[in-house]
Amino acid sequence: MCQRSNVDPFRHTSPPHAQTTNHIHGPVNGTVLQVGSVHGNVHLPSSPPPPEPRQLPAPPAVYVDQDSLTGEIRAAVDQAHAEKRNALVVVTGPAGVGKSALATRFLHEHPQLGTHGHFFIDLQGFSPGPPTDPHQALERLLHSLGMDRESVPTELGARAAWWRSATAALRVVLLLDDALSAAQARVLLPGGTGHTVVVTSRVNLMGLRFDGATIVRVPPLNTEQGVELLRRSSGTPTPDDEGQAAMRNIARLCGGLPVALCTVAIAESSERWSSWTRVENDLRDAQARLARLNSIGERIGVEVSLRGAFDLSYESLPAAQARTYRRLAWHPGPEITTLVASCVTGHSAAECEETLRNLAQQHLLTEHGRGRYRFHDLLRLHAEEKAAAHETDEAKDEGVDGLMRTFAELSVAADTVLRPYAGPGASGITPVFTDPAQAAVWLDTEKDNLVGLVELAARHDRPRHALRLVEGLWPLFLHHGQALLWLRAGTPAIRAARELGDETALGRLLNKRALVHSHLSRVEEAIADLEAAERIWLGKQEWKRVAQTRQRRGILAFQNQHHQDAVAFLQEALAADEHTGGEHNKAVTLFMLGRAHLATRSPEKALGCLERALPLLDDDAYNRARVRIALGSVLMALSQPERARREAEAAQAEMLKRGSVSGQGKAWEVLGEISEHQGDVPAARAAYESAMKLLSQGDPARRRVQGRLDGLG
């Protein structure tokens, strides 16, 4: 009987026996000769050893280098080998992002890592059909080392042990592609040290961290990388400027996913009359984009469409996670939180928190901040398709209404804390904002969600929600100078007020929009809004509102350097305030009149107005701080720098407490003026630089401060 194998670790022989009987015990491997006696030389037939395994798939023909990612892998491998252990790298990311391409490319570029062989197993974790059975994977690995299938043990643990034994003295590369779980990959890890194992998966596989894994997350390509991949994949000449602009838009519309970009590029190059502009136009319709990419793939013979790849990820989800995934597509904002998930599903915050983490582990969401998630653009479209197919209209209406109602109540609650003088309080919804800073942080964090919800409410016949949602965005303009953000939400809210015939809401919003237009130096638009608002208030005989509108005409004139006109408008508004008894409005009018008098070189008049305004603002810390900033400038003009500094420092502290970035910037500006007036140039420069860090690009104060800095030399 003769058997032959080239794998020594599996040779087992029985211990020597004193008697001369001829028996063999245990598994037999290697060459064994069983005879009674031997005379002369023995010649055994020999077979060539199996070829050294070189099983890696070919690297992609077209590839855009992502140096930071290959650097991460290289560093992880080098560190592991320096510590005399196996290198284990998990390359993870959403479907179609290029995980396998990155892993294959890296391993082909570093062949020396696998001195004794390069092994490859497709684990088929997210492929049609069942995942690869670890029994079968281990059998293939052992057979690749030269072991015949009949000798491979049947039990999983024994196969894994033999694989570890066989590789203990070797140095191999192992690519495990498309893993479903950490357990599926762990059983295939080789023994010994010095190996390099790369696992690709749509799941983070954090469990492999216990085995020393480094997790490398593959993001979508940026726009320029996407354009480069389109150009290389299509093989077409560089287009003209219009074509290049279209390519950049295609890269964005494909969300930077290489599988989508390559599909589009190959299809474009195959059509004689195609153009990048036409491809861009075909992809612009968000609702049809996935279907379009799918049809392109079918036409050119792509085996797995992008939609199909997404489907495989979706179908692997438990029912509750799948339900949350598709319902999250109802949320129009870019930021997904446990609050959003709870509104659209009705689940508890704790349940939603766990579900969102699991969806991020599956790369169906991206966690970009603690507890804050986002959809990839194409995955959002996929989730919308699933929601349309599996959710009822009634469920969608209930989920969207809950989302709008909850955020509207929170928006009003935050505005009430920040502007207690402005109107009635909110309904007490939790979380309760206990102080202005907390309310300001919430509004700043959720601002894009609020704008998206206002736009959705206006589009889908929910005008009442639109009017309440927009309330919290006004403090963001007052405290942070978010003018364009407010316009995005305020304009559809104005349409909602007109739709409802709510003249009071319409007049208030027109007054606010006029201030925003003024801030952006859109004088004609601001005047038109103020005139429309004043007509409303005159018709309703709401004299306090008439006074407020005239006050804003004065503010508009002041902001556009028409200081004498500003004084005239504001004095007219002050007379109306005196008549109506609107104390808060009178205080704001006095504040602005003080600033206008200072601008016309009448600091004594300015001081009188500001000192009258201050006691009227005990319940409005924000505007009180604004008055103190103005007092700092006036007192400096009156050669009282020490008192001016006290007022400006008190204002700066209050603005910091309230989280008002623009307010802090203006306080630093006055402190810089005071230091400059006193001849302390370093202190002035430091104050102006602090102001520049806080003032937004569109704030006129920023240009003013930059001029002061330049003047210091």
Pick the more confident residue, 305 or 375: 375
Highest-scoring range by mean pLDDT, 218-222, 429-433, 645-649: 645-649
How far, CA to CA in Å, does 281 sit from each of 235, 243, 245, 254, 603? 21, 12, 12, 13, 60
Helix 286-300 to helix 377-390 angle (10° resolution) is 100
Count the neighbouring beta carbons within 10 Å of the beta carbon of residue 286.
13
Vertex 98: Cα angle to 273 and 274 (nearest 5): 5
- Write out the two tokens for 201: 């998966």
pLDDT tops 60 at residue 117: yes
E strand or H helix at 456, and its extent? helix 436-459
- Write out the two tokens for 138: 């281990």
pLDDT tops 90 at residue 491: yes
Backbone phi, psi, residue 88, to 5°:
-130, 115
pLDDT grade for 468, boundaries at 50, 70 and 90: very high
Mean of pLDDT values over 188-192: 93
* Residue 538, SS3 per DSSP: helix
pLDDT grade for 445, boundaries at 50, 70 and 90: very high
pLDDT grade for 268, boundaries at 50, 70 and 90: low
Question: 525: number of CA atoms within 13 Å, CB side?
Answer: 13
Mean of pLDDT values over 251-269: 80
pLDDT grade for 274, boundaries at 50, 70 and 90: low
DSSP 382-433: HHHHHHHHHS-HHHHHHHHHHHHHHHHHHHHHHHHHH-TTSS-----PSSP-
- Write out the two tokens for 73: 């892998």
Task: List b or e across 114-142, with b for residues whose CB sees 16 or more CB atoms inside 10 angstroms.
Answer: bebbbbbbbbbbbbeeebbebeebbbbbb
User: Cis (ω within 30 of 0) for the bond into 682?
Assistant: no
- Give residue 34's region: left, alpha or beta (phi > 0; psi -120 to 50): beta
Count the neighbouring beta carbons within 10 Å of the beta carbon of residue 599.
17
pLDDT tops 60 at residue 627: yes
Question: 105: number of CA atoms within 13 Å, CB side?
Answer: 18
DSSP 182-218: HHHHHTT--SSSS-EEEEEESS--GGGGGGTPEEEE-
Question: What CA–CA distance (Å, rounded) separates 533 from 512?
Answer: 10
DSSP 226-280: HHHHHHHHHTPPP--HHHHHHHHHHHHHTTT-HHHHHHHHHHHHH-TT--HHHHH
Helix 473-480 to helix 503-519 angle (10° resolution) is 20
* pLDDT tens column, 62-105: 888 888 899 999 999 999 999 999 999 999 998 888 899 999 99
Mean of pLDDT values over 665-670: 93
What pairing do the DSSP bridges indicate for beta strands 118-122 and 87-92?
Answer: unpaired
Alpha carbon dihedral 660, 664, 667, 673, in 10-degree steps, equals -150
Of the listed ranges 233-242, 503-512, 543-552, 558-567, the least confidently predicted one is 233-242
- Percentage with pLDDT > 70 across the chain: 89
Question: What CA–CA distance (Å, rounded) separates 373 from 341?
Answer: 11
Backbone phi, psi, residue 593, to 5°:
-65, -35
* pLDDT tens column, 454-467: 999 998 889 999 99
Q: Which amino acid is at 502?
A: D
Of 377, 379, 350, the closest CA to residue 362 belongs to 379
Contact 96, 220 (CB under 8 A): no
Helix 641-658 to helix 621-637 angle (10° resolution) is 160
Question: 53: number of CA atoms within 13 Å, CB side?
Answer: 25
Query: What DSSP designation does 98 have?
Result: -
Q: For the whole model, what pTM was predicted?
A: 0.71
Mean confidence (pLDDT) of the chain: 86
State the pLDDT at residue 625. Answer: 95
Pick the more confident residue, 32 or 393: 393
Q: Which amino acid is at 236?
A: T
Q: Which amino acid is at 196?
A: T
- Percentage with pLDDT > 90 across the chain: 54
How far, CA to CA in Å, does 331 sit from each of 37, 158, 334, 627? 85, 51, 8, 41
Question: 314: number of CA atoms within 13 Å, CB side?
Answer: 22
Contact 64, 229 (CB under 8 A): yes
* pLDDT tens column, 337-367: 999 999 999 999 999 999 999 999 888 998 8
Sequence-distant (6+) residues with CB within 8 A of 533 are 507, 510, 511, 514, 545, 549
Question: 695: number of CA atoms within 13 Å, CB side?
Answer: 21
Question: What CA–CA distance (Å, rounded) separates 599 from 351?
Answer: 58
pLDDT grade for 398, boundaries at 50, 70 and 90: very high
Helix 286-300 to helix 276-283 angle (10° resolution) is 130
- In DSSP terms, 90 is beta-bridged to 199, 215
What pairing do the DSSP bridges indicate for beta strands 366-369 and 372-374?
Answer: antiparallel
Question: 502: number of CA atoms within 13 Å, CB side?
Answer: 17
Contact 200, 177 (CB under 8 A): yes
State the pLDDT at residue 211. Answer: 92
Question: What CA–CA distance (Å, rounded) separates 589 from 572?
Answer: 10
Sequence-distant (6+) residues with CB within 8 A of 296 are 263, 264, 267, 302
State the pLDDT at residue 304. Answer: 54
pLDDT tops 50 at residue 566: yes
Task: List b or e across 500-511, with b for residues whose CB sees 16 or more CB atoms inside 10 angstroms.
Answer: eebbebbbbbbb
